[in-house]
Chain A
Amino acid sequence: MKKIISAIIVFTFVSTIVNAQTHVFTANWEINFPTTQNYINKTSFAGGKLEYRYIIKEKFSVGVAWNWASYEEYFNRKTIEKADGTGAITTDYIAQAYQVPVTATFHYYFQKGKTFRPYAGVALGGQSLQQSLYYNVYATDDDNWGFVVRPELGAFIMLVPERGFGANISLGYSYATNTTDIIGSNSFNNFGITIGLVFLGER
Chain B
Amino acid sequence: MKKYLFYLLVTTVVVLSGCRKTPDTGKLSTSFVVQTSKSPTANFDNYKTYFISDTIALRTTNPNDTFWFDASAKQLIDAVKANMQSRGYTYVPKGSHPDIGIGFNAVKDLNVGIIYSGWWWWGYWGCYWYYCGYPPYYPWGSVYTIPTGTLVLDFIDVKNAEADNKLTVIWSSVMSGGLGNTSNDLALGIGAIDQSFTQSPYISTK
Contacts of B37 in A (CB 8 A): 86-87
- Asked if B28 and A88 make an inter-chain contact with CB atoms under 8 angstroms apart, the answer reads no
Known: A29-B18, A87-B38. A136 touches B30 (CB 8 A): yes
Contact partner of B4 (CB less than 8 A), chosen from A68, A91, A165, is: A165
Of residues B25, B31, B38, which shows the largest number of chain A Cβ atoms within 10 Å of its Cβ? B25
Interface residues of A in 60-119 (CB under 8 A from B): 68-70, 72, 74, 77, 79, 81, 84, 86-94, 96, 98
Contact partner of B177 (CB less than 8 A), chosen from A27, A137, A196, is: A137
Of residues A29, A90, A94, A98, which shows the largest number of chain B Cβ atoms within 10 Å of its Cβ? A90
Residue B148 at the A interface, CB < 8 A?
Answer: yes
Interface residues of B in 5-61 (CB under 8 A from A): 5, 7-8, 11-12, 15-16, 18-21, 23, 25, 27-40
Residue A155 at the B interface, CB < 8 A?
Answer: no
- Asked if B8 and A46 make an inter-chain contact with CB atoms under 8 angstroms apart, the answer reads no
Known: A25-B8, A137-B177. A94 touches B25 (CB 8 A): yes
Minimum Cβ distance to chain B for residue A83 (Å): 12
C-alpha gap A135/B28 in the complex (Å) = 7
- Asked if A72 and B18 make an inter-chain contact with CB atoms under 8 angstroms apart, the answer reads no
- Asked if B4 and A164 make an inter-chain contact with CB atoms under 8 angstroms apart, the answer reads yes
CB closest residue in chain B, given A88:
B199
Minimum Cβ distance to chain B for residue A158 (Å): 13
Tell me the number of A-to-B contacts counted with CB atoms below 8 Å. Answer: 111
Residue B161 at the A interface, CB < 8 A?
Answer: no
Contacts of B5 in A (CB 8 A): 25, 199
- Asked if A27 and B19 make an inter-chain contact with CB atoms under 8 angstroms apart, the answer reads no
Known: A29-B15, A77-B31, A134-B28. A72 touches B23 (CB 8 A): yes
Residue A154 at the B interface, CB < 8 A?
Answer: no
Contacts of B39 in A (CB 8 A): 86
Known: A88-B200, A136-B176, A197-B7. A47 touches B33 (CB 8 A): no
CB closest residue in chain A, given B202:
A85
Contacts of B18 in A (CB 8 A): 29, 45-48, 68-70
Interface residues of A in 134-179 (CB under 8 A from B): 134-138, 163-165
Contact partner of A68 (CB less than 8 A), chosen from B7, B19, B40, is: B19
Residue B189 at the A interface, CB < 8 A?
Answer: no
Residue B195 at the A interface, CB < 8 A?
Answer: yes
Contacts of B38 in A (CB 8 A): 86-87
Minimum Cβ distance to chain A for residue B154 (Å): 15
Residue A28 at the B interface, CB < 8 A?
Answer: yes
Chain B interfacial positions (CB closer than 8 Å to A): 1, 4-5, 7-8, 11-12, 15-16, 18-21, 23, 25, 27-40, 111, 146, 148, 176-178, 195, 199-200
Chain A interfacial positions (CB closer than 8 Å to B): 25, 27-29, 45-50, 68-70, 72, 74, 77, 79, 81, 84, 86-94, 96, 98, 130, 134-138, 163-165, 196-197, 199, 201-202
